[in-house]
Amino acid sequence: MTILDGRKTSNEIKVEIAVAVKKIVAGGSRAPHLAAVIVGEDGASLTYVGSKVRACKKVGFDSTLVNLPDTTTEDELLNKVHELNNNNAIDGYIVQLPLPSHIDSQKILMAVDPEKDVDGFHPTNFGKMALNLPTFISATPYGVMELLERYNVDTEGKHTLVIGRSDIVGRPISILMSRKSNPGNSTVTLAHSRTKNIKELTRQADIIISALGSPNFVKADMVKEGVVVVDVGITRVKDDSEKGYKIVGDVDYENVSKKASHITPVPGGVGPMTIAMLLKNTLQAYNK
């Protein structure tokens, strides 16, 4: 059984990006610049954005954190988005989700310049991704594909089951795994909360990519020997530790790993890849 180690792989990618940035700066050009906009004081969002800022520093990027109060109006946030769109010193930026309930997230994401949309959420970039055209791929699906590629996981002709149909993870992964490329060229089934025969599908699947957000949903009796398992789920579950919780994925790792040929741990699998791929998208935006 091979562990698809996201921490190790993401560090390798960051080293590659840092080398590229050193060459850019040595040539007399400015470093790539990533900005992040966060509205309010959501603890998980602040932690995540903070890790992005630290990652920028590690690879030599410039970074800007725009921290707005949760009383920020939709119009004020739209003005900030337009300001970032027109700032030539910033190559790419993200608007951290979730946004406060009084702000229409879709309206904000639609206002982001697709050329700076390093999160890959804009419909223009999603459409290009679906058509297999050069574009920004959403960081989590991009991280999954990068892990499969770097570990030489054979996907051609395989039956891939994607569990979860979100626009950010499930849908894009289902498209990426079916496209004519490597990794890709697999036959994809997209399952979701209304799928009735889920156990039949999981037992048939050569590759299972779960982005459901349901702790330990995929059990050992639901998978076949030699299955490849990519666990995108991250859920906080209460326990008796000092923190008061532990991070759990969609997959019963302890038991499913005994049958799998390849598997991602949680934490330490797909999670670390997300920030690495965001940096990769930012470098791509800079090079454009």
Task: Give the span between the Cα atoms of 182 and 179, in whole angstroms.
Answer: 8
Please tell me the distance from the alpha carbon of residue 137 to that of residue 262, in angstroms, as a whole number. 24
Question: What letter would DSSP give residue 181?
Answer: S
- List, by residue number, the catalytic residues: 52, 96, 119
Tokens standing for residue 73 = 């109006």
CA–CA gap between residue 288 and residue 282 (Å, rounded):
10
The two tokens of residue 153 are 């996981």
Residues with Cβ < 8 Å from 242, sequence gap 6 or more?
A: none
Label the pairing between strands 235-238 and 245-248: antiparallel
- Exposed/middle/buried for 74, CB within 10 Å: 0-12, 13-18, 19+? middle
CA–CA distance, 165 with 178 (Å, rounded to integer) = 15
Q: What is the dihedral of CA 13, 18, 21, 23, to 10 degrees?
A: -110
Place of tokens 């309930």: 101
